[in-house]
Structure formats: structure tokens, C-alpha cells
């Protein structure tokens, strides 16, 4: 059976040389060949070498993108019981081998050398990606931004909770440097009255609870502020009623 994991190593336009017993040219193999390859040719081994193991060799060119071809799949599957032409010593219509890609490619052992793995990690590791560096590197706060009106404590808390200041480094004389991250979560508060409960009615009010997590960059201490007496909570002004 064709190995999908090894098939992926063949570049688009590359020539496949596939040795297989003729009775193993199943509809599954034929469908895979027809979908992922074109210019498929099948030959039986020459002379007595075919009589011993009844093997065939399949040549094909890998497509740039998979494309279903039921007609080609049927023709390949029919080769299972057909008398195939013998593999010639020289072809009148040889395959064109594509040029070597400019990207580096190495054949390596399955055993990983720790030094080589470390060098590869430094060159292509996850920390070289923008998403990782953005998550670890606070944005530049050197540029001063002056609001039109002075911000109140509630404004600052809501800006933090909305994530507008996430991963920003904040410094204050005598207090040190901190990273901040805000979170806003939705909760439902039961506001049913005694009469509602007697009538089997449940009333709920949607509210948004604010919490702010602060990381001290000097000692690594993490503090979460979610005291409703210190942080503002807003509500939607809408209540839901359920019987």
C-alpha cells in the first residue's frame, strides 16, 4: 500500500517510481495514484524477474494539487489482471526530472542530534514567530498619549478590563514595574421577587464583572483584582424572564 507520509516528500512535478506486486494494484491504490499523480505508466519486471515475484514498476508525475480522475483510476485498477508491457531498457518518451529547489534539503538519520536540534530550534523555534513575541514583549509605551479629558478611576479600570492595555508595562515611582491584563465576563444575577417565585417566574439581570490581573516584574507576584467595591461593574439594563 502506498504510504501517504512518504508521498508528501515528493515535490510537485517529481517522478514517482513505485515497485509493487501486480496483485496489489487495488482500487484504493489506483484511486490514490490517479488523484495525486498524472502521466501514470505501468510495466512488468523484465524476463524471469517478473516470474519470481510478479512485480511491476509504476512511474508517475506528482500533481501540483490533488484532482480526482475516475477514468484514470479505472485504467490503473484494470492493470491488476492485465498483461503489462515489459520494462524497457530505454524509453522513447522519458520523464523530465524537475530542477533542484533553491531551499535547503537534507537526508538525515531518524536519531536526532541534540546540538543540531538546538540549533534548529534557535533558527526556526516558536519564539521566532510574531504571535509568540507579541505575547511576551510588551508594546512600546514611550509615546505619550494625552486624553482630551482627565481619566477617572472607572475609565482606567474599564480600559484595562477591555484589554486595551493588555501586556503593557506600567511603572510608577516607589511601586516598581508591572504588566497588566484585564478581563470582562458576563454573569446573571437573580432579581426575582417573592411574588415572582410564588408565580413560578424567574427574572435575571445580565451584568459584566470586571477583573484585572497584575504581574509584578520585579518579584513575579501575581495579583488579581476583582473586588466589586474597587472595580466598576456595568449591566446591560435588560432583564430576562423565564417561566
Please report, for the chain, the start and end positions of each structural domain, with discontinuous segments joined by +. Answer: 4-80, 153-242
- pLDDT the model gives residue 143: 58
- What pLDDT does 116 receive? 86
pLDDT for 140 equals 61
> Which comes out higher in pLDDT, residue 213 or 240?
213
Confidence of residue 170 (pLDDT cuts 50, 70, 90): confident
pLDDT band at 70 (very low <50, low <70, confident <90, very high): very high
- Average pLDDT of the segment spanning 70-93: 92
229 pLDDT above the threshold of 60? no
What is the Cα–Cα distance from 44 to 40, expressed in whole angstroms? 14
**pLDDT for res 236:** 39
Task: Calculate the average pLDDT of the chain.
Answer: 81
> How many CB atoms sit inside 10 A of residue 158's CB?
19
Which pLDDT value is given to residue 161? 67
Looking at per-residue confidence, does 108 or 204 come out higher? 204
pLDDT at residue 234, rounded to an integer? 42
Strands (E), 67-220: 168-172, 176-190, 202-216
Q: Is the dihedral of CA 133, 138, 143, 149 positive or negative?
A: positive
Decide which of 64 and 187 is more confident: 64
pTM, whole model, 2 decimals?
0.44
Amino acid at each position: 500500500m502506498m504510504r501517504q507520509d512518504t508521498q508528501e516528500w515528493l515535490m510537485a512535478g517529481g517522478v514517482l517510481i513505485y515497485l509493487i506486486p501486480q496483485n496489489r494494484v487495488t482500487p484504493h491504490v489506483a484511486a490514490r495514484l490517479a488523484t495525486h499523480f498524472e502521466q501514470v505508466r505501468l510495466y512488468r519486471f523484465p524476463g524471469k524477474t517478473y516470474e519470481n515475484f510478479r512485480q511491476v514498476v509504476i512511474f508517475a508525475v506528482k500533481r501540483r494539487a490533488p484532482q480526482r480522475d475516475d477514468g484514470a483510476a479505472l485504467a490503473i485498477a484494470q492493470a491488476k489482471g492485465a498483461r503489462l508491457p515489459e520494462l524497457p531498457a530505454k524509453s522513447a518518451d522519458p520523464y523530465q526530472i524537475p530542477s533542484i529547489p533553491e531551499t535547503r534539503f537534507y537526508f538525515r538519520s531518524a536519531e536526532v542530534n541534540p546540538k543540531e536540534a538546538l540549533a534548529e530550534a534557535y533558527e526556526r523555534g516558536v519564539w521566532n514567530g510574531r504571535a509568540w513575541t507579541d505575547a511576551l514583549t510588551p508594546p512600546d509605551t514611550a509615546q505619550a498619549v494625552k486624553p482630551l479629558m482627565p481619566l477617572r478611576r472607572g475609565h482606567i479600570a474599564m480600559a484595562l478590563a477591555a484589554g486595551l492595555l493588555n501586556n503593557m508595562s506600567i511603572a510608577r515611582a516607589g511601586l516598581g514595574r508591572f504588566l497588566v491584563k484585564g478581563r470582562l465576563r458576563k454573569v446573571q444575577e437573580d432579581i426575582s421577587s417573592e411574588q415572582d417565585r410564588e408565580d413560578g417566574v424567574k427574572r435575571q439581570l445580565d451584568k459584566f464583572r470586571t477583573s484585572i490581573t497584575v504581574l509584578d516584574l520585579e518579584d513575579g507576584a501575581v495579583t488579581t483584582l476583582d473586588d466589586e467595591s474597587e472595580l466598576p461593574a456595568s449591566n446591560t439594563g435588560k432583564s430576562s424572564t423565564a417561566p
